């Protein structure tokens, strides 16, 4: 285990000198928000010092000071993570990139944009639109920073058609643990030039370096879009339909899955019954929300007609069209309310974001439900059916915290084992943080987990970058 | 079989309408349009009524040719027939003349038993159209309808949502109804209806097509009100902006100020 | 053929439930008194059905020149047919220049209807009334297009000029009883059998004190800046700490986040409060017209938001963050 040093008044002064008084806080002055992300159930840990950086040079100076003095540094964006990834387990410095929120410039010939890591996802998306461009990755949390999205390789709903954040990172400026500044990647569409450290950096959760600038790929904004809701009598028939959509060459932008439970709580929560609970006198067991984009309405109509045909053959109750701006707004507002609807009627909550092969979704869902019944926890779920990524929530309103944690652990242990058995992965898009490390180890095995540790050591020999995360088990008792 | 009429309106997205500071005119060019949301609640009430008691739903709107898209949107969720009243002479109408035009045009399709309207439009927001239509249809009226209990024997029984409670009323047909959204959230169209609506025939009436239309009663000449002037709202001088550098100290300063004022 | 100038005097309909007069009628009398003093018209209150003496006294205190009492059949419960008819009959007989009706649910239900019967122009929701001596027309001034503009509306040729005005738009400030008040009694019978929409039953809503915000001491008002319902809880907490209640602007009602009864503004509740704090409210006229606050505080991330023109104190910043800070500070103060 690395032996970290405490921040002495002298070191604190050096750090303060880098960013100035107003962007520095220590001790009592530290904003409590910097001690947790959006999953406080994984514990709150306070840093000794926080610095709100504004430039690559500042980050470089901070890292040099901390590396020389063996001070842990945890990088943080908007703090919207769900696995404790930005929580400073070993104290030290929290380095926040929120103020590095400038969109630097567009290169319209190569369709890329250069930005700072603290730019919020929603701001990048909106700004790109004003240039007629689209930033395809679309994770649900729009107030996350793009830097955070890269560090977790965030996915989102449009992954079915466009892929994930990784696919849109062309180049990064990174500050290494010792303060050196390196450039990874270039504005090119192909590369076959040695090990891709760029892609090693994507999804590394601040354990290998600090990303301070990035070049992101954009695409021309699709002119038209239409969504449709395809209700089925049960989960099984609903999920079985997913591959048919792809095989029919319909190229959907997203395929979202929702079961009757989540639709009911969303309606109750928002007071607006956007998604029907009954269709043609039959109860809806589960539905898919499928979105298509295209150049014009005719193209979309053709896709809809084809979808209608295969949906009928697959036993769908109906196909409902979300075409008007009001209906689109309502549908996506309802879809976005799922997590909040769960949180609203749940006191204690823990989550999993496993990804399994699409055809294994029903098997996994059935298994996890039976697990919930077995240990006495309510299981709620929704997710990206198109890519097998499922958001699963263990919920309770009446259990004591300790008992809840005990039961959740049983569910998680078995569920992750099942996930591995079904050839799935621990996390689809929320990453590992410190919450999912053991499950990662079990899932990938000791050899792979060990290799990850070796790589970490090469980048960060003093283990000061985001200690205790991903593959660094040194803080575990 | 009930003959049901639903009055709908295409409106600009009011959030995006701006006023030209030079000319003082409203800039509507390029502003996306939508179907007045409250009209969709009226349509849903009409469709529910049709489904329960049998009938046929006719849609009617007045506006430029592009208003057709609103009719198609409504045809997709349960409308059977649609009328568009369009033509320059209808322009600039207030509710007095619009209600006249709508009633005259609808008479081309016979007499209606039930007429559903949104409570108001989000752009004009006068909320007068429904009552004025009811008068011109010589119909009874039920405003702020919360739920429909029964339609039978030439009567409709419904519940109104008043300021302080619910009033049950019974009205003779023809009856005009404006609806509250609570029980009448719009539905999504199914694929068949959606595709069908794109090809559906829409009856378009110009001022020359409507029997017995008095041209003095439509458009500007038929209006009782005019808008001689619009101007940006006069704003008071801004208040004291607290800017101490951080949210924490701003909040601190505000609490001090409020405490000094005795507000807290 | 009658000329515009042949129509004289202005009327205010006094809506009541047989026990008390609704405030809006009295507010209108107070405001119209001022207008009539400018135009030289007389101000008449129109009372349909029985109203206790002490309530009529309140009307008299508003300096009306006369009261028109309407009696007869058909008025036991509000119904569009009999009430619209009464005004049509009265107006044809007396030819008033203007008729004002409170913009309550029932007022808005029948006023536009008798305007059609009289074939005249009708306006709704004016916030100011001015008189143009050149044309002899009333200028009804009201916000339009979601509060982005103010529109002047007139009835240039037809009479009477009919207007519905929202409750709370004008102040109740009675100018005192006139020495002489003309009394006109009219019997206008409407055959109860001919009422096409009949009252069957009325069930009052359960009174939820949280939904009664018109006179709350403190109001925390949340606007369209709110991300979603999840973020609402902190504002409830702040309201609780301040001993106040939570309110909202129209978009939050439209988004289904809060009920209509909490919608503050011209088309919702008009509030009178000691302390009003808005979060994420842009400041459209329709909303601010509904706020009468001793101290007005605005928090919004847009430094150019119109709301800062209405506030005493403003903070430019993230609404959730500022709210959280205020909660902390208030908690600390209460310890």
What is the domain-level CATH number for residue A63? 3.30.43.10
Per-residue pLDDT of A399-415, as tens digits, reads 999 999 999 999 999 99
Count CA atoms closer than 13 A to A42's CA, side-chain side. 24
Asked if C332 is an interface residue toward chain A (Cβ–Cβ < 8 A), one would say no
B47 Cβ contact list (under 8 Å, min separation 6)? B57, B77, B78, B79, B187
Return the CATH class of domain C209-334. alpha beta
Which DSSP string do the residues of B94-156 spell out, in sequence order? -HHHHHHHHHHHHHTT---SEEEE-S--TTT----HHHHHHHHHT-EEEEEEEEEEEEETTEE
Inter-chain residue contact A337 with C228, CB threshold 8 Å? yes
Provide the pLDDT for residue A84: 93
- State how far residue A462 is from chain B, nearest Cα, in angstroms: 35
Residue A1 has pLDDT above 60, yes or no: no
| Contact predicate A30/A49, CB 8 Å | yes
Residue B163 to residues A45, C79, C206: CA-CA distances in angstroms? 51, 16, 12
Provide the pLDDT for residue A63: 98
Inter-chain residue contact B261 with C123, CB threshold 8 Å? no
Instruction: Select from B239, B243, B255 the residue whose CB has the most chain C CBs within 10 Å, as the one to mutate to test that interface.
Output: B239
Residues of chain C numbered 223-252 and touching chain B (CB < 8 Å):
242
What is the domain-level CATH number for residue A250? 3.30.70.3450
Pairing label, strands C218-222, C245-248: parallel
Inter-chain residue contact B26 with C124, CB threshold 8 Å? no
Per-residue pLDDT of A339-373, as tens digits, reads 878 887 788 889 899 999 988 888 898 899 899 99
Which DSSP string do the residues of C69-85 spell out, in sequence order? EEESSS-SS--HHHHHH
Asked if A337 is an interface residue toward chain C (Cβ–Cβ < 8 A), one would say yes
Residues of chain C numbered 243-262 and touching chain A (CB < 8 Å):
255-257
> What is the rounded CA–CA span in Å between residue B243 and residue C63?
48
Q: What residues of B are in contact with residue A284 (Cβ under 8 Å)? A: none
Q: Which segments of A196-274 does DSSP mark as H helices, in order?
A: 197-201, 235-240, 242-247, 260-270
C284 Cβ contact list (under 8 Å, min separation 6)? C143, C146, C147, C148, C249, C265, C306
ipTM reported for the complex surpasses 0.95: no
Provide the pLDDT for residue B24: 67
Torsion angle defined by CA atoms of residues C287, C292, C295 and C301, in that order, rounded to the nearest 10 degrees: 0
Q: String of b and e for C59-82 (b: at least 16 CB within 10 Å)?
A: bbbbbbbbbbbbeeebbebbbbbb
Which member of A273, A320, A331 has the closest CB to residue B189? A320
Q: What residues of B are in contact with residue C197 (Cβ under 8 Å)? A: 140-142, 169-172, 175
- pTM value is 0.87
Q: Which residue has the tokens 């991903």?
A: A470
CATH code of the domain occupying C4-194: 3.40.50.620
Residue C77 has pLDDT above 60, yes or no: yes
Inter-chain residue contact B188 with A272, CB threshold 8 Å? no
Residue A161 located in a structural domain: yes
> What is the rounded CA–CA span in Å between residue C326 and residue B248?
8
- State how far residue C205 is from chain B, nearest Cα, in angstroms: 4
Same domain? A32 vs A69: yes
Residue A434 located in a structural domain: no
Inter-chain residue contact B191 with A229, CB threshold 8 Å? no
Closest to C241 measured CA to CA, from C275, C270, C271: C275
What is the domain-level CATH number for residue A168? 3.30.465.10
| Contact predicate C235/C219, CB 8 Å | no
> What is the rounded CA–CA span in Å between residue A199 and residue A301?
38
All structural domains of chain C with their residue ranges = 4-194, 209-334
Q: What residues of B are in contact with residue A33 (Cβ under 8 Å)? A: none
Query: Which residue does chain B place closest to C239, by CA atoms?
Result: B264
Q: Give the other-Cβ count within 10 Å of A197's Cβ.
A: 17
Residue A440 located in a structural domain: no
Structural domain ending residue among the three candidates A194, A220, A246: A220
DSSP H or E segment with residue A63: helix A56-69
Beta bridge partners of C204: B165
Q: What residues of B are in contact with residue C304 (Cβ under 8 Å)? A: none
| Mean pLDDT score of chain C | 94
Provide the pLDDT for residue A191: 85
Q: String of b and e for C25-44 (b: at least 16 CB within 10 Å)?
A: bbbbbbbbbebbeebebbbb
Which member of C227, C230, C257 has the closest CB to residue A343? C230
Q: What residues of C are in contact with residue A336 (Cβ under 8 Å)? A: 228
Provide the pLDDT for residue B246: 83
Asked if A340 is an interface residue toward chain B (Cβ–Cβ < 8 A), one would say no
| Contact predicate B13/B34, CB 8 Å | yes
- State how far residue B259 is from chain C, nearest Cα, in angstroms: 11
**For residue A231, what are its two tokens?**
């209700």
Per-residue pLDDT of A42-84, as tens digits, reads 889 999 999 999 999 999 999 999 999 999 999 999 999 999 9
Q: Which residue has the tokens 């007629």?
A: A132
Neighbours of B, requiring at least 3 CB pairs below 8 Å, are: A, C
Q: What residues of A are in contact with residue B189 (Cβ under 8 Å)? A: 320-321, 323
Sign of the C-alpha dihedral computed for residues A341, A346, A350 and A356 taken in this order: negative
Inter-chain residue contact A344 with C227, CB threshold 8 Å? no
The confidence band for A336, taking pLDDT boundaries of 50, 70 and 90, is confident
Return the minimum-mean-pLDDT range out of A9-13, A379-383, A441-445, C111-115: A379-383
Same domain? A182 vs A231: no
Inter-chain residue contact A324 with B34, CB threshold 8 Å? yes
Closest to A172 measured CA to CA, from A161, A160, A186: A186
Residue numbers of the domain that contains A182? 103-220
What is the domain-level CATH number for residue A364? 3.30.70.2740
Provide the pLDDT for residue B19: 74
Residue A477 has pLDDT above 60, yes or no: no
The confidence band for A375, taking pLDDT boundaries of 50, 70 and 90, is very high
Residue C39 has pLDDT above 90, yes or no: yes
Closest to A5 measured CA to CA, from A36, A38, A48: A48
Asked if A340 is an interface residue toward chain C (Cβ–Cβ < 8 A), one would say yes
Helix (H, G, I), strand (E, B) or coil at A389: strand
Full pLDDT tens readout for chain B, 264 residues: 999 999 999 999 887 887 777 776 777 778 889 999 999 999 999 999 999 999 999 999 999 999 999 999 999 999 999 999 999 999 999 999 999 999 999 999 999 999 999 999 988 878 999 999 999 999 999 999 999 999 999 999 999 999 889 999 999 999 999 999 989 999 999 999 999 999 999 999 999 999 999 999 999 999 999 999 988 888 889 999 998 878 889 999 999 999 999 888
| Contact predicate A88/A94, CB 8 Å | yes
| Contact predicate A128/A113, CB 8 Å | yes
Residue C10 has pLDDT above 80, yes or no: yes
Same domain? A168 vs A112: yes
Instruction: Say what percent of chain A tops pLDDT 70.
Output: 99
Same domain? A318 vs A390: no
Provide the pLDDT for residue A2: 67
Which member of B131, B175, B248 has the closest CB to residue C110? B131
Residue A444 located in a structural domain: no
Inter-chain residue contact B191 with A304, CB threshold 8 Å? yes
Helix (H, G, I), strand (E, B) or coil at A102: coil
Q: Which residue has the tokens 């053991």?
A: A438
Per-residue pLDDT of A218-267, as tens digits, reads 999 998 999 999 999 998 899 889 989 988 999 999 999 998 988 988 88
Asked if A143 is an interface residue toward chain C (Cβ–Cβ < 8 A), one would say yes
> What is the rounded CA–CA span in Å between residue A128 and residue A110?
14
Instruction: Say what percent of chain A tops pLDDT 90.
Output: 77
Residue A437 DSSP symbol = H
Cis preceding linkage at B174, omega within 30: yes
Asked if A191 is an interface residue toward chain C (Cβ–Cβ < 8 A), one would say no
Residue C131 has pLDDT above 90, yes or no: yes
Q: Which residue has the higher pLDDT, A264 or C278?
A: C278
Count of domains observed in chain A: 4
Q: How many CB pairs under 8 A join B and C?
A: 237
Helix (H, G, I), strand (E, B) or coil at A188: coil
Q: What residues of B are in contact with residue C125 (Cβ under 8 Å)? A: 125-126
Residues of chain C numbered 79-138 and touching chain B (CB < 8 Å):
80-81, 84, 104-106, 108-113, 115-117, 119-125
Fold classification of B2-217 (topology level): Rossmann fold (3.40.50)
Q: Give the other-Cβ count within 10 Å of A402's Cβ.
A: 8
Same domain? A279 vs A351: no
Are C4-194 and C209-334 in the same CATH fold?
yes
Per-residue pLDDT of A431-455, as tens digits, reads 999 999 999 999 999 999 999 999 9
């Amino acid at each position: 285990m690395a032996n970290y040093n405490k921040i002495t008044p002298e070191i604190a002064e050096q750090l303060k000198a880098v960013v100035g008084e107003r962007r520095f806080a220590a001790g009592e002055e530290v904003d409590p928000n910097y001690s947790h992300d959006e999953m406080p159930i994984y514990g709150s840990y306070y840093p000794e010092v926080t610095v709100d950086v504004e430039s690559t040079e500042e980050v470089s100076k901070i890292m040099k000071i901390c590396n020389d003095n063996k001070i842990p540094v945890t990088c943080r964006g908007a703090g919207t993570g769900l696995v404790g990834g930005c929580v400073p387990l070993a104290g030290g410095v929290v380095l926040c990139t929120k103020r590095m929120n400038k969109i630097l410039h567009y290169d319209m010939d190569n369709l890329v944009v250069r930005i700072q890591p603290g730019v919020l996802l929603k701001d990048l998306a909106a700004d790109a639109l004003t240039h007629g461009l689209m930033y395809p990755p679309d994770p649900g949390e729009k107030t996350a920073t793009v830097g955070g999205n890269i560090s977790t390789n965030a996915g989102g709903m449009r992954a079915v058609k466009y892929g994930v954040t990784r696919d849109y990172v062309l180049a990064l400026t990174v500050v290494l643990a010792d303060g050196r500044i390196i450039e990874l990647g270039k504005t090119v569409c192909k590369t076959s030039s040695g090990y891709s450290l760029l892609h090693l950096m994507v999804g590394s959760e601040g354990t290998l370096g600090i990303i301070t600038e990035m070049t992101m790929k954009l695409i021309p904004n699709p002119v038209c879009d239409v969504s449709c809701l395809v209700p089925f009598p049960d989960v099984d028939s609903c999920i079985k339909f997913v591959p048919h959509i792809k095989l029919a060459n319909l190229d959907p932008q997203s395929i979202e899955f929702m079961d009757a439970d989540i639709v009911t709580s969303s309606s109750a929560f928002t007071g607006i019954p956007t998604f029907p609970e009954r269709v043609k006198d039959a109860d809806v067991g589960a539905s898919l929300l499928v979105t298509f984009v295209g150049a014009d309405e005719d193209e979309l109509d053709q896709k809809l007609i084809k979808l209608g045909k295969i949906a009928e053959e697959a036993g769908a109750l109906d196909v409902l069209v979300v075409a008007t701006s009001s209906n689109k707004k309502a549908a996506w507002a309802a879809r976005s309310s799922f997590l909040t609807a769960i949180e609203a009627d749940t006191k204690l909550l823990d989550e999993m974001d496993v990804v399994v092969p699409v055809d294994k979704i029903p098997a996994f869902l059935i298994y996890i439900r039976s697990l919930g019944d077995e240990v006495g926890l309510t299981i709620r779920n929704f997710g990206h059916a198109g890519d097998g990524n499922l958001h699963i929530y263990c919920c309770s309103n009446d259990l004591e915290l300790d008992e809840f944690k005990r039961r959740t652990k049983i569910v998680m242990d078995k569920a992750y084992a099942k996930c591995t058995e079904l050839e799935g992965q621990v996390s689809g898009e929320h990453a590992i943080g410190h919450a999912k490390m053991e499950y990662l180890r079990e899932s990938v095995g000791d050899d792979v987990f060990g290799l990850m540790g070796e790589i970490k050591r090469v980048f960060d020999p003093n283990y000061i970058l985001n200690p205790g995360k991903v593959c660094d088990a040194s803080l575990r008792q | 079989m009930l003959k049901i009429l639903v009055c709908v309106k295409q409106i600009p997205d009011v959030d995006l309408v701006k006023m030209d500071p030079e000319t003082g005119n409203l800039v509507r060019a390029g502003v996306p349009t939508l179907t007045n949301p409250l009209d969709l609640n009226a349509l849903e009430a009409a469709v529910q009524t049709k489904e329960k008691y049998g009938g046929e739903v006719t849609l009617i709107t007045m506006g430029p040719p592009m208003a057709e898209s609103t009719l198609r949107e409504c045809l997709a969720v349960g409308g059977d027939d649609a009328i568009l009243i369009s033509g320059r002479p209808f322009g600039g109408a207030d509710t007095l003349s619009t209600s006249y035009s709508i009633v005259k045009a609808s008479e081309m399709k016979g007499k209606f038993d039930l007429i559903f309207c949104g409570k108001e439009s989000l752009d004009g927001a006068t909320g007068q159209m429904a009552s004025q239509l009811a008068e011109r249809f010589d119909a009874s009226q039920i405003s702020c309808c919360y739920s429909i209990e029964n339609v039978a024997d030439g009567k409709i029984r419904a519940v109104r949502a008043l300021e302080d409670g619910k009033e049950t009323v019974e009205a003779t047909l023809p009856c005009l109804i404006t609806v509250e959204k609570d029980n009448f959230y719009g539905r999504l169209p199914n694929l068949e209806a959606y595709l069908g609506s794109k090809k559906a025939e829409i009856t378009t009436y110009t001022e020359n097509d409507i029997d017995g239309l008095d041209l003095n009663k439509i458009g500007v000449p038929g209006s009782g009100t005019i808008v001689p002037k619009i101007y940006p709202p006069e704003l008071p001088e801004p208040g004291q902006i607290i800017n101490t550098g951080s949210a924490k100290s701003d909040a601190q300063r505000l609490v001090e100020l409020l405490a000094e004022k005795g507000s807290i | 053929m009658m000329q515009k100038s042949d129509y004289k005097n202005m009327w205010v309909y006094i809506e009541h439930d047989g026990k008390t007069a609704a405030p809006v009628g009295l507010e209108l009398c107070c405001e119209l008194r001022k207008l009539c003093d400018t135009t030289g018209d007389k101000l008449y209150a129109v009372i349909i059905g029985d109203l206790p003496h002490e309530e009529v006294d309140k009307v008299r205190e508003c300096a009306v020149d006369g009261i028109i009492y309407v009696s007869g059949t058909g008025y036991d419960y509000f119904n569009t047919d009999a009430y619209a008819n009464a005004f049509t009959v009265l107006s044809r007989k007396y030819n008033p220049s203007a008729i004002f009706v409170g913009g309550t649910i029932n007022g808005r239900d029948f006023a536009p209807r008798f305007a059609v019967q009289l074939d005249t122009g009708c306006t709704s929701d004016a916030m100011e009334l001015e008189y143009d001596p050149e044309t002899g027309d009333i200028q009804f001034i009201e916000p339009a297009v979601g509060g982005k503009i103010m529109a002047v509306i007139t009835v240039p040729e037809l009479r009477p000029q009919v207007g519905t005005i929202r409750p709370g738009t004008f102040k109740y400030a009675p100018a005192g009883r006139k020495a002489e008040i003309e009394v006109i009694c009219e019997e206008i019978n409407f055959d109860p059998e001919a009422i096409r929409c009949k009252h069957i039953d009325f069930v009052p809503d359960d009174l939820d004190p949280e939904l009664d915000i018109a006179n709350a001491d403190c109001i925390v008002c949340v606007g369209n800046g709110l991300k979603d319902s999840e973020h609402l809880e902190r504002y409830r907490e702040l309201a609780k700490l301040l001993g106040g209640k939570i309110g909202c602007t129209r978009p939050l009602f439209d988004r289904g986040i809060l009920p209509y009864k909490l919608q503050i503004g011209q088309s919702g509740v008009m509030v009178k409060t000691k302390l009003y704090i808005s979060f994420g409210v842009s400041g459209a006229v329709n909303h601010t017209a509904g706020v009468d606050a001793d101290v007005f505080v605005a928090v919004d991330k847009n430094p150019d938001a119109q709301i800062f023109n209405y506030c005493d104190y403003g903070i430019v910043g993230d609404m959730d963050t500022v709210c959280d800070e205020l909660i902390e500070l208030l908690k600390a103060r209460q310890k």
